[in-house]
Chains A and B, each alone.
Chain A
Amino acid sequence: MTWRIGIDTGGTFTDLVGINSADGRLLFHKVHSTPHDPGEALCTGVRQLCAREGVAPAAIALLIHGSTVATNAVLERKGARTAFITTAGFRDVLVIQRQNRPRLYDIRGRRPAPVVPRELICEVGERILGDGTVETPLAAPELAAVIERLRAARVESVAVGFLNSYVNPAHELAARDQLARGLPGVKVCLSHEVIRSQGEYERFSTCALNSYVQPKMQGYLDRLCGQLRAAGLPDAPFIMKSNGGMTTAAVAGERSVETLLSGPAGGVVAGLRLAADTGRANLITADVGGTSFDVSVIHGGRPAYASRSEINGLALNVPMVDIHTVGAGGGSIGWIDAGGALRAGPQSAGAVPGPVCYGRGGTEPTVTDANLVLGRLAARSNLAGGMDLDLAAAREAVRVRLADRLNLGVEEAAEGIIRVVNARMTAAIRKLTVERGHDPAQFSLCIFGGAGPLHGAELAEETGMAEVIVPVLPGVFSAFGLLLSEMREEQMQTWLKPLAGTDAAELAARFDALAREAAVRLGAGADGARRHRVDRRLQLRFQGQSHTLAVDVPAGPIGLAAVAAQFHAAHRRLYGYTFEADPIEIVTVWAVVTLDTPPTPTPPYVPAARPSRIGERPVYLEGRMVPTPVHDRFALVPGTVIAGPAIIEQPDTTTLVLPHQHAAVDPQGNLVLRSRPRT
């Protein structure tokens, strides 16, 4: 029982990384995703990895899975038939949403439809006030009538969201009892159990999303466990959550909403490890997959967390690593819009049919096709995935679909695709840096994903970052992050109170109570029998404002003045100013509990004893084909410095070093790209 295997299901590929906890040996594998049943690719991949490496299934101690099932259920609107029961008079909260306009200048803009159709949103009489007192008791007969309607509508799950239930959940709990009796077998989700925060729209929306994805996720996990069992593999996989921690399949099956947007979290966890290993405090992690570009910020050695997010325009308030995603990746399609401008993405060729050069029926030129046309990718290589790519087909697609219509050469059009997709990625990086008070020049860009290292050098230049770090296994970096994740649960609760008038001891007691709840869910035991650590956060705002800022509260006695100072510092960094004299208000108390687990070591980098330079090929750079040395990544000894231009190939990705850059291999085996100093 020495192997841990992380499986990251992406839109195009399913990545697998295995680590031997005894000797630190690392294995990796990649299979095409099977969107119709992601478990199929997972099991196939694990079986192939085991067969290839001679790993007995019984030697696998742990499977950690990053799943996109819940995410895809929302994005594709293929979740359960869900009903939503709410307080009389508030039926349209999910439909009206917030008053802000998602597209400011679009007079015809429409809000996204909630995942629950309006005919399945039902009202019952009840009312609990903001202080928790009951103004109107729950109308059981009305609920009984609703239950009859829902039975007839054959709903698969029911979400219950009452006003102010985060203060007093009595009516939601009573409703669940009645629903359990009236709709046996139908999953019921209560809003206060998903999040215990003020703001009925966000709470209701998150609750509805959980109900919507939960049956699908539960079904997937049950099926997956069966498939694993049949294959003789561990049948209790751990599931990655959006907060960068992992949980059991049982908890993920209940609180499925916490896995929404979890896909990129593994990359951030791996980025944190890389930052620690290399002594870097500020890192921007950027994952360029087949369909999406996910960017996140690690500042001062800590990732950015968020408690408010959205998916497909719908509010999603669960604690998560703050990741910004845009539809830009290797599979992004180059196209010409109505105005005649060249565009790239967000639509993607995905896993099927994939880029034209994959020869799987794709006809639209993609970013990968463009990289192939430009010589950045090899048409045939023992490295770079060992997959033969159809250069002629890629050239033809770029020519017919773009170059001829734009009156450009094929290489120019292909370079255009790269420039446009790079611009979209750059904008995403700026959104998380410049727009949040971070100077990109103070950060290193950690670029990964199968398509990332082809773009990292240009992205860093365009955003003003000094260096690019390409991890040892960029193609499976997110999956590696799964191996590093820890068991983690969070509990938040709205607690409106002026900071200045807060009793520090009472605040500490609040934290303790929330931590105990999270610890129970974590399996640490209410008495803390299993060793765990507690991180404390507060969401604060100036009194009268709407938006909050989160600050960490260190362990030990709480210093309210220090908390205020942290808030002011964060405000100043983000907005450029603060109001030292204005009163601050606590909005949310937030406890994060992480189970102590033996750390997974970073595997040592051991280069192969063979010459690194394996050839040369023309690469389109700065407007012409330039003879460019090609290196074998895994033959590069730490300390090696390679002058650009250069191509560095490895089985899971290809790295481009621009002419005025050099790439150095650090002691951990990471490639570090920097611009050449001027002489």
Chain B
Amino acid sequence: MSDPAPEKLFSPALQPAVRERFLHADGDPFTGPRAYLENAGGGLTLKAVFAADQRVGALPDNAGRDNPASREVGRAIQAGRADVATFLGAPAGTILSEQSTTACAFRLLEAAALGRRGGNLVCSQLDHASFYDAAGILAARHGLERRVAPLNRATGALDPDAVAALVDADTAAVTVIHASNITGGRTDLAAVAARVRARAPQAMIIADGAQHAQHGLVDAAGCGVDAYVFSAYKIFSKPGFAFACLSERLAARPHAQLAGKAAADWDLGTRDPGGFAAFSAVVDYLCWLGAQTAAPAPADRRGLVAAAMHAIEAHEAALSRRLLHGADGLPGLLAHARVTLHGQRDHRAGREAVFAFSVAGAPTGRLVQEFGRRGVILHDRVSDAYSGHTLAALGVREVVRVSLAHYNTPAEVDAFLRALRDLLAPA
């Protein structure tokens, strides 16, 4: 497990400069001013993303034609792919673009499972339904076994040994969630990959970074996975786009494609160039942030992205401490006797800034409404198609989720804590 992230809030000068770059940071057209603490459901969108999408999306041609507009479309797509690889720390190779992480999950697992007989797919209780269900459906379809690693109830995270214990010579693929969108538990991806490789070198390791991507640096090549998948809208870009980097051996597995395309080409049909340009705008933003927070500023885009993500982790760690332990006389989440936090109580080690909690005797739907009335946007995860299996593993039917992002401020955390205190105060 990596060392705990340092804690350091953005400087008073940087924080507003960060927020100024996002749409609806201080309020939205419907509720007005509010604290947006539902970032696990989708990050705020960068203004630059909106602009890049409009600019490139409006260009009047497809890529591959002999005219300037077409060349610009092609350039934007190629630049977008390169920026995805930069963001992920992935070697040059196959970058898959799809409409969603769920679509990626089905396609990648299908490729890993196809043609296997009597093998198994390994997933976990912490997995998002996209991977968890894809593994179950494809296992049933192909006559494979789906093995499910239990989550650690105490930490709300996944123990590498729990995954490794399930793999064997017949394992076709292992899915690993990098960070839980419910508990915030972070998986030590490199440790999982190393243990799996030791026992099942043939197994394709597919990491789901949908939640982690906005909270910390991704090192897809370094952690030894075969695929790393994330959704663009979770990291300040537009919805309808997910990206993945693929190892050579996974990219070479049979997959749906036009007959004349190169074997390593996984994209199907014409993709929206605006989506690629939008993601380049995200990487541009991260490079800007890296330049603001690192001294001296790295010279290359990957170095700047890394600096930005380290700064984001440090800022979110400081916000997490405040949220769990309180500050300035406001009791933290852990101070309330009626509140149960599901997952890691340490604000840094093995977790990200996503917190699941319940309040004894209070339905989560009602709590979310009450927070909303107090200007704090939260969400509850209930036993539905997305979260049922994980909540059942945690031994609960519903939780309230509060999730932070780097554009959130201490004042917004305090708004949450104040609302919580008021809601729990005796009538």
Contacts and interface: CB of A to CB of B under 8 A. Distances in A.
B389 interface: yes
A637 interface: yes
Given A604-B395, A662-B139, A679-B142, A640 B147 contact: yes
Given A609-B150, A641-B145, A674 B395 contact: no
Contact of A667 (B141, B149, B392): B392
A642 B145 contact: yes
A643 B393 contact: no
Contact of B145 (A643, A667, A677, A679): A643
Interface in B104-132: 118, 123, 125, 132
B389 A664 contact: no
B147 A674 contact: no
Interface residues of A, number: 21
Interface in A628-679: 637-643, 662, 664-665, 667-668, 674, 676-677, 679
B393 A638 contact: yes
Contacts of A679: 141-142
Contacts of B389: 638-639, 667
Given A611-B165, A643-B118, A667-B392, A637 B140 contact: no
B407 to A, nearest CB: 35
A348 B166 CA distance: 43
A102 interface: no
A616 to B, nearest CB: 11
B146 interface: yes
A639 B141 contact: no
- Residue in B136, B148, B162 with the greatest tally of chain A CB atoms within 10 Å: B148
Interface string A277-298: 0000000000000000000000
A618 interface: no
B113 to A, nearest CB: 11
Interface residues of B, number: 27
Nearest to B117: A643
A679 B117 CA distance: 14
A609 B118 CA distance: 23
A300 interface: no
A638 B141 contact: no
Contacts of A199: none
A662 B143 contact: yes
A667 B393 contact: yes
A607 interface: yes
A664 B147 contact: no
Contacts of B118: 643
B388 interface: yes
A668 B388 CA distance: 10
Given A667-B389, A667-B392, A668-B392, A641 B139 contact: yes
Contacts of B166: 611
Contacts of B393: 638, 667
Contacts of A643: 118, 139-140, 143-145
Contacts of A637: 125, 147-150
Given A611-B165, A643-B145, A638 B140 contact: no
A612 B162 CA distance: 13
- Residue in B140, B166, B392, B395 with the greatest tally of chain A CB atoms within 10 Å: B140
Given A667-B388, A667-B389, A667-B393, A639 B125 contact: yes
A contacts with B: majority SS? loop
Nearest to A674: B140
Interface in A92-140: none
Contacts of A612: 147
A63 to B, nearest CB: 28
Nearest to A667: B392
A639 B145 contact: no
A667 B382 CA distance: 14
Contacts of B146: 639-641, 664
- Residue in A611, A639, A662, A668 with the greatest tally of chain B CB atoms within 10 Å: A639
Contact of B140 (A604, A609, A676): A676
A639 B132 contact: yes
A635 to B, nearest CB: 10
Contacts of A604: 395
A243 B166 CA distance: 46
A664 B392 contact: no
B125 A641 contact: no
- Residue in A612, A641, A665, A676 with the greatest tally of chain B CB atoms within 10 Å: A641
Contact of B148 (A611, A640, A677): A640
A639 B389 CA distance: 7
A676 B147 contact: no
Contacts of A638: 125, 148, 389, 392-393
Interface in B145-165: 145-150, 162, 165
A665 B139 CA distance: 13
Nearest to A646: B145
B306 to A, nearest CB: 35
Contacts of A668: 392
Interface in A573-610: 604, 607, 609
Interface in A449-489: none
Interface in B179-196: none
Contacts of A641: 135-136, 139-140, 144-146
A269 B118 CA distance: 38
- Residue in A640, A674, A676 with the greatest tally of chain B CB atoms within 10 Å: A640
Nearest to A608: B150
Interface string B389-403: 100110100000000
A154 B228 CA distance: 87
A657 to B, nearest CB: 11
A379 B165 CA distance: 29
A664 B389 CA distance: 13
A21 B39 CA distance: 39
A640 B148 CA distance: 5
Contact of B150 (A607, A611, A642, A677): A607
A175 to B, nearest CB: 57
Nearest to B139: A641
Contacts of B123: 639
B140 A677 contact: yes
A256 to B, nearest CB: 41
Contacts of A674: 140
- Residue in B123, B150, B389 with the greatest tally of chain A CB atoms within 10 Å: B150
A456 to B, nearest CB: 18
Contacts of B136: 639, 641, 664
B185 to A, nearest CB: 17
Contacts of B395: 604
Nearest to A659: B143
A569 B125 CA distance: 43
A612 B136 CA distance: 17
Nearest to B151: A637
B149 to A, nearest CB: 7
A643 to B, nearest CB: 5
B141 A676 contact: yes
Nearest to B122: A640
A677 B123 CA distance: 21
Nearest to B132: A639
Contacts of B149: 637
A626 to B, nearest CB: 12
Contacts of A639: 123, 125, 132, 136, 146, 148, 389
Nearest to B166: A611
Contacts of A667: 383, 388-389, 392-393
Shortest beta-carbon contacts, A-B, top 10: A667-B392, A641-B146, A639-B148, A637-B148, A641-B139, A643-B143, A662-B140, A640-B148, A637-B150, A641-B136
14 contacts: A607-B150, A609-B165, A611-B165, A637-B147, A638-B389, A639-B123, A641-B140, A641-B144, A643-B139, A664-B140, A664-B146, A665-B148, A667-B383, A667-B392
Given A604-B395, A639-B136, A676-B141, 16 more contacts: A611-B165, A612-B147, A637-B150, A638-B393, A639-B125, A640-B145, A643-B140, A643-B145, A662-B140, A662-B143, A664-B136, A664-B146, A665-B148, A667-B389, A668-B392, A679-B142
